Each structure stands twice: as structure tokens, then as C-alpha cells.
Amino acid sequence: MTTLKLKTQEEAWRESVDTEIVGLMEEMLAQAKNGEFDGIAIAASRKDGQTFHSWSSSSDFARLAGAISRLQYRLMLKQDD
């Protein structure tokens, strides 16, 4: 007899991990552990459509905001591809 097990949404997500995202986060974590950052901002979109954002303190919020603007510009260019 075969038993059917339904997967939760989280179980299904774990099976389809995006290795590019994991690699990027590991690279950023290594740089943070080396003390290379003085501030960080994070934006993410979840598979269920929710979004997440957070930031840390920074010695130069204007520079961090500029980095966010540059990222936004690059994302818009990518969307137009």
C-alpha cells in the first residue's frame, strides 16, 4: 500500500533552494565577518509574494541610500531585458 504524504509549503520551498541566492548571502556574510561593511540594507521577495526589507546602522546613511538607488537602477535595467 502506498502512503501519500502532502508536503507543506515550507517543505516544498526547501526542496527548491536557489543556490544563487545562498551563494550571494554566504559571500556577503563572509565580507561582513571580515569587517568590510559599515552598513547594510537587504530587500527580498518570497515565493509566496511577500516582501522583506531590513537595514543596519551605518556611519554614512547617504552612501547606503546611494547604493540602494544604484541597485534599484540595475534591477530596473534587468527587468527591461
pLDDT tens readout for residues 29-57: 999 999 999 999 999 998 889 999 999 99
Which residue stretches of the chain are H helix? 9-15, 19-33, 61-80
Q: How far apart are CA 51 and CA 31, in angstroms?
A: 24
pLDDT, one tens digit per residue, over 5-30 is 777 777 777 778 889 999 999 999 99
Q: Which residue has the cell 511577500?
A: 50
Helices (H), 3-60: 9-15, 19-33
Instruction: Give domain limits for the chain.
Output: 19-80
- Pick from 9, 8, 6, 7: which is nearest to 46 by CA? 9
